[in-house]
Every structure is written in structure tokens, then in C-alpha cells.
Structure 1
Amino acid sequence: MSPNFLVIGAEKSATTWIYNRLSEHPNVYLPATKEIHFFNQFDSNLKEVNNYEKLGLNWYKNFFHHYKGEKAIGEVTPMYLCDPKAPYRIKKLLPDVKIIAILRNPIDRAYSHYWMAKHKTHTQLTFKEAIETNDPRFVQRGLYYDQLRIFYSLFPKENIKVILFEDIHENNQEVLSNLYNFLGVRSSYVPEGLTNKENSSQKPKSVVLHRLIALSTVFFRTKLKMGWMVDVFKSTGVADKIKTLNTKQVKNETMDSADRKSLEAYYKESNKKLERLLQRNLNW
């Protein structure tokens, strides 16, 4: 079975919250694993994954083997939005798929992403250095217009839904109702986790343990091709408990006003084009 919808990003824009609320709906199927990384060539830290060419379609379809006839079947991988090859690969294999993108003020997204990477020791740069070097992980990924216009050129407009991070915060039930309706499932459903906050500012207590778990998951899925073991482990709830025990809440520093002004200028033209594409005022 192949998915009929994909949540393509952006990173640090409530995709985990969307994943969990979709998972709660009785007529929506999502794999136990968020972020399969099938269509994208590179992961979030620019490391080549390329499961599309290395492992193939059967490996991908195996993520959906627990499907039991739910009307909506999909997956959530935020890297699909910004990866240069992902849109074309998706079009080739899933030409009729529905596309869902969640966008956040690109300045806030960049800062949130930077601190996540900093806490996980994926970068040693200061945020100012990340801006000055135009780090593609944090800065360039906020150029949503250039990313989305490719999807609009490949897929029918009616098959693309764009949600704003800010709308989720203002009226999460309305956002979910509209999203459920877009997927053709009961829009009046109210998930238990409606008011849950996901992935607020956190850092792993042990970076070594965090990486060990991540590498083990990749090893079992891609090297041993025993993804079912990962699914069983996740279904027990043990994985979530370990993650919770290894996580602590943190308060990130306030962004420097000069850095914010620099990014406002950087994103200005892209945001204007995005407003025209989406036909709405973004107030970013």
C-alpha cells in the first residue's frame, strides 16, 4: 500500500504535533515512525541518505504494512519540502498524492532549528555566524516560495494544503477540522491531544544516548531491513519513555535584534512572493 497524503514540512513548524493529531484519528493511518526519509536525498544535517535509490519502493511500502483500510494513509517527513529531488520523486511514484505543508515565520523557524542543532551538537556556530555564512540548514530553508512553487508546478492546486504555524496556535481545532476535511475523513473528530505541546525547547541529557538510538533505528531499518523490530519496540512505548527520560526542558536565548533585522531583509522578497502564491497576508 502506498500513501495518499504526505506532510512535507517545514522543519520546526509543528509537524510533530500534526503527526500526533493525525495519528489519533480513527480513519487515518500513519507509520509508527515519523520521518521515513524516502524521497529526500539529504537529511536535516546535509548527510546523504538517498533511501529512494538505495533501498527502493518495497522498503518504503513496508512502513505501511499495518494498514487496516483507513481512508487516509500517509507519512510525515519535513525534509521533503526543501530537498531538491524530493518533489520530482514524489510526482513520479505518487502522482495523485495530497501534499500538506506547514509553514512558520522563517526567522523564528531558523532560530528554533538552530537551537535544536546546537543542543544536539550538530553545529558549533553562533547564530550570527550561521546567518553570515548563509547556513543552508537554518537560513536557506526559510525560502518557502522557491520550495513550494515546485510542488505547485507538479501537483494540482486542489491537492496542496498549506497550514501556518501561527494558525495552529490561534485555533488548533479549526486547523485540524479543515485538515481532516482535506483528507476526506470525519472533520468533527476532536483528538485527545488537541492541547498538547510537542517538541518545545528541549535538549538531550545525553547526546551519546540520543545518537545511539537514532543510529540504531537507521541500522535496523536500512542495513538489516528489519524495520518491524523498530515498530514493535516503538509500539511498546519504551522508546517514548527513554526519550522522555533523556530530555530536559531548556530556555533558549532571546534573538539579537540585529540578527532579526538582517533576516527580515533576507526573507522580505521571498515572503512577498509567497503571499502572492498563497493569496494571503502573512504578517511576517
Structure 2
Amino acid sequence: MSSIRDRVKQLVPTQVSRRVKDSLVDYGVRTSDRRPPPDFLIIGTKRGGTTSLWNYLVDHPLVPRLFPAWNTKATHYFEENWHRGEAWYRSHFPTARQRTALENRHGGPVRVGEAAPLYMFHPLAAQRVSALMPSVRLIVLLRDPVERAYSHWKERRTHGVEPLDFAEALTAEEERTAGERERLIAEPGYHSERHDWYSYRARGRYLEHLEPWLDRFDRRQILVLPSEDLYRDARATYRRTLEFLELPAFDPPDFRVYNDRRSAPLEPALRAELAAYYRPYNDALRRHLGLDLDWPDRTA
């Protein structure tokens, strides 16, 4: 079935379609004072199953999609679009009236959210989120960082922005991203594609990027899910997420995998090097969160 956005494009010329889109965006901003901020955020990790979990959640009748309907899963407000302001951010979510109508129709609480896996990694996102939405619930998917890094590289290759092979990209990462994190902190309106695109190794040092969130939010507001649990038993992980969001039980139409990128397996020597690199970081993460993360780097 084609998306609403595709159907709009089929019905009207490009220039009219653009006007319709701009009109809806403007309407969202003008009514932003009637649109409460979201109840939950999926903040990471990139290539950890965030798109799949998001799609399972918006199948639930009490989890509406973003506004306008052609928006996918994220506003990217707390990293790329911070300069647009709070009214622009709130414009993407349902009005209080729409929430009430859904609650009356389906007999349960509405939970509104977005899924933006760069949020966990961005150095300013945690403080921005906590200032605007101190009671928001946070969902974090954590994948074996070796597999995450390789999948991240495959995505960049597919999108045509990564000319290097994986080993070369890992070697070039520090030089490519040098100074970008510091510039993001110094210039609040700056957005760095390099920080997002080429952070293959750095992005898997999860505790380092989670600590700003753990410092600002009650641990009961944060649900950490191993991505491997989602891959092995999506239904059980979905149910656990609904319980965290205090949503009634629901069975979505299916649990198909989104954005899967199959390829040749990672070269064994490179896999071993990365596993050794991540071992101390993963051990610290396990101790801090008290989680049994069954990743291949584990020695005991």
C-alpha cells in the first residue's frame, strides 16, 4: 500500500504538493500551543532496531504518528533542527483534542513519541530534552557495538556517502570527525554530518553517551533493551515496551524487520580487533546498568 505522501504526489502537481505541505506545516506551528510535547523518545542506538520498534509502536491504536502524516519517525529537533524553536517541534504532535478523541475511542492512554537515534550520541541532546520534557520516558536499544559499527558503515555505503572500505573508514574516523563534537557544543545551531555519518567506532562506546541521560533522568524513566532481544523475540520486546509506556496489550499485524542490510560477514580479524577494543567499554556498561548483555566480547 502506498504511503499518504505518495498518494498526495500522485494527485497534485509538484508545485501544488509543495504548497499543500507548507500549508500543513504552517498550520501545525500555528496550533502548536494546543499540541503537548511527546510522552516518549527512542533515543538510540543507530542501526539497533529503532525503525522496527517505532513501526511496531505506531501500529498500536493509541500511538499516533507524527504530523503531517508523511513524516516518518523523527523531527530531529534536539540535534539538527534545534534552531527552529519549540513551536516548530510541538507542531509535529497531535493536539490535546486529538489525544482525547483517541482515548475515548480506544479506551486507554495515548502515548506520543518519536524515534531519533542520533539523540543519544549528540552532546547537547540530553540537557535540551530534560529542560523541555523532564518527565519524558526514554527507550534505548543497544546492539553489539561491533555489529552496529559494521551495519552503520553498510548504510553509509548504500547511501553513497562512504567511499572507503570498512577497515579504511575505521582508520580515518578520528581524522574525519576531529573537532566536530566540540563545535556542536560551542555552536548550538550547528549540525555535523561528519559526526553523524562517520562515527562508526565512537558511537559504540555506549556508556559514555548514556551518562548525560542517566545523570538527568530518573532510572525509572529509561528502558534499556538489547537489540538482540528484539531480533530474537520481537513480540516479547514489544510487550515489554508497552508495559513501560503503560499501554494496553496489542498485537500488531506483523513483526517484519525494517532497514535490514544483508551482506558478507565481517572479516574475522577485524571483528576480533573491534571486540577487543569494545570489551572494557562493554564491561563498564554491564556493571553500570546491571544488564546481561550477551555480546561476543564477554569473557565470562
Of 192, 212, 225 in structure 1, the residue corresponding to residue 253 of structure 2 is 192
Of 71, 93, 97 in structure 2, the residue corresponding to residue 64 of structure 1 is 93
- % identical aligned pairs: 31
Matched letter for residue 75 of structure 1 = E
Matched letter for residue 111 of structure 1 = Y
Matched letter for residue 172 of structure 2 = T
Of 219, 223, 228 in structure 2, the residue corresponding to residue 157 of structure 1 is 219
Mapped partners of 2:254, 2:85: distance in 1: 34
Asked if residue 29 in structure 1 is aligned to residue 49 in structure 2, the reply is no
| Residue in 1 that maps onto 2:292 | 281
CA contact (8 A) 2:120 2:209 kept: yes
Asked if residue 77 in structure 1 is aligned to residue 77 in structure 2, the reply is no
Deviation, 1:109, is 0.5
CA contact (8 A) 2:64 2:94 kept: no
Residue pairs, 1:50-129, within 5 angstroms: 51-52=81-82, 54-65=83-94, 68-69=98-99, 71-129=110-168
TM-score by length of 2: 0.71
Alignment length (residue pairs): 223
| Residue in 1 that maps onto 2:199 | 137
- 2:134 counterpart SS class: coil
CA contact (8 A) 1:87 1:150 kept: yes
1:47-74 CA distance string (max 9 Å, x none): xx3x11x210000111014662152111
CA contact (8 A) 1:71 1:184 kept: no
Matched letter for residue 253 of structure 1 = A
Matched letter for residue 58 of structure 2 = S
Deviation, 1:170, is 2.0
Mapped partners of 1:181, 1:37: distance in 2: 26
- 1:29 counterpart SS class: coil
Mapped partners of 1:280, 1:100: distance in 2: 15
Mapped partners of 1:112, 1:18: distance in 2: 17
| Residue in 2 that maps onto 1:216 | none
Deviation, 1:253, is 2.5
CA contact (8 A) 1:130 1:139 kept: no
Which ranges in structure 1 are unaligned for 5 or more consecutive residues?
41-48, 202-250
Mapped partners of 1:103, 1:30: distance in 2: 24
Residue pairs, 1:123-272, within 5 angstroms: 123-134=162-173, 136-186=198-248, 188-194=249-255, 196-201=256-261, 251-272=262-283
Deviation, 1:120, is 1.0
CA RMSD of aligned residues (A): 1.4
Radius of gyration: which is bigger? Answer: 2
Deviation, 1:184, is 1.0
- 1:109 counterpart SS class: helix
Matched letter for residue 202 of structure 2 = Q
Mapped partners of 2:95, 2:157: distance in 1: 36
1:10-61 CA distance string (max 9 Å, x none): 0111111111011011112231421211001xxxxxxxx3x11x21000011
Matched letter for residue 43 of structure 2 = I
Q: Runs (4+) of structure 1 moved beyond 3 Å?
A: none
Deviation, 1:134, is 3.6
| Residue in 2 that maps onto 1:245 | none
- 2:250 counterpart SS class: coil
- 1:28 counterpart SS class: coil
Mapped partners of 2:63, 2:159: distance in 1: 32
Which ranges in structure 2 are unaligned for 5 or more consecutive residues?
1-35, 100-108, 175-197, 296-300
Deviation, 1:149, is 1.7
